[in-house]
Amino acid sequence: MENLIVIKIGGNTLSQLQPSFFQQLQCWRKQNKKILLLHGGGTKITELSHQLNLPVRKINGIRVTDEQVLEVTRLVLLGRTQPLLLQQLAVNSLPALGLNAADQFLLRGSFLDKQRYGFVGKIVQVNSSLLEHLLAEQIGVLAPLALSTAGQWLNVNGDSAAAAIASLLGAKQLYLMTDVPGVLKAGQVLPTLNRKTAQYLQAAHVITTGMQPKIQAAFHAVDTGVNQVQITDHFYHSGTKITQEGVNNDEFTFSNL
C-alpha cells in the first residue's frame, strides 16, 4: 500500500503520548500518508486478570491465553484502550476509526502453537482492499486480535501483529513505540541493531524477555521488505533503527557486555 506508515503503541505508552505525537500525525496526513495505529494493552490485561483471579503466564514474552484470558483481552483492547486512543485523536482534531478483526475479516490468523500458548495466533492475511479505502480518509486504529478461518478469536502479540501487517501491506515505515527510548545497553540507546548483535545481547541478558518479541517482530519486518523499522518512545527520538546483517552498530563492542 503506497505511503503507508504503521505505528504500534504499547499499552503503557497510551497515557504518555505527547502533543508532538499528534502533531507528527497531522503533518503526515498533510503529506497524504496513510496511517495505521495498532494499540496494546498488556498491563491492563494483567491487572484485570489478577482482579479476576486468572493466571498470568508468559513464555518468551508471549501471553498464554485460555478462553477466560482471551475474553479479558478482548474486553481491555476493544472496550478500554481503543476508545482511549480514539478519544485522544479526536481531541487533537485527527479523524480516526476504530477497527478490529471482525470488520469484514480484516485480520485473519492461525494458531501460533495451541498446545503451548492456547488461543494465541499470528497474522496470515489482511483485508487490504478494505484498509486502503478506509485509510484514504482517516487514521485506522486497530486492535491486535485476529480471527481464524473458522471464526475463532486469537490473541496476537501487538509487535508481531504490527510487523506482519506492515509486511503484508507493503508499508515503508514501521514504528514500534514503547516506554523506553530504544534498545538499551548500559543505559545508552543503541542507534542501530542488527540480528547478530541482538543475539549477543540476548545471550548476555542485556535484552530482556519483555523486549525480545519486539525485536523479533522488528527483524521480521526488515527481512520482509519494510524499509524503515524503529523502536523508540517518541517520533523526535531516533531510537534504535533495525538493520540488515552486515550493517555495523555505532559504538558497539562486545567486550563490554
7-18 residues labelled b (16+ CB within 10 A) or e (exposed): bbbbbebbeebe
244-254 residues labelled b (16+ CB within 10 A) or e (exposed): eeeeebeebee
From CA 82, how far away is CA 99, in angstroms rounded? 9
Binding site residue list: 41-42, 63, 155
Binding site residue list for substrate: 41-42, 63, 155
Q: Are 141 and 106 in contact (CB under 8 A)?
A: no
CA distances from 10 to 113, 158, 216 (A): 24, 8, 16
Bridge partner residues of 146 (DSSP)? 154
Which residues, other chains included, contact 23 with Cβ-Cβ below 8 Å and sequence gap of 6+?
none
| C-alpha cell read off for 29 | 496526513
| C-alpha cell read off for 247 | 550493517
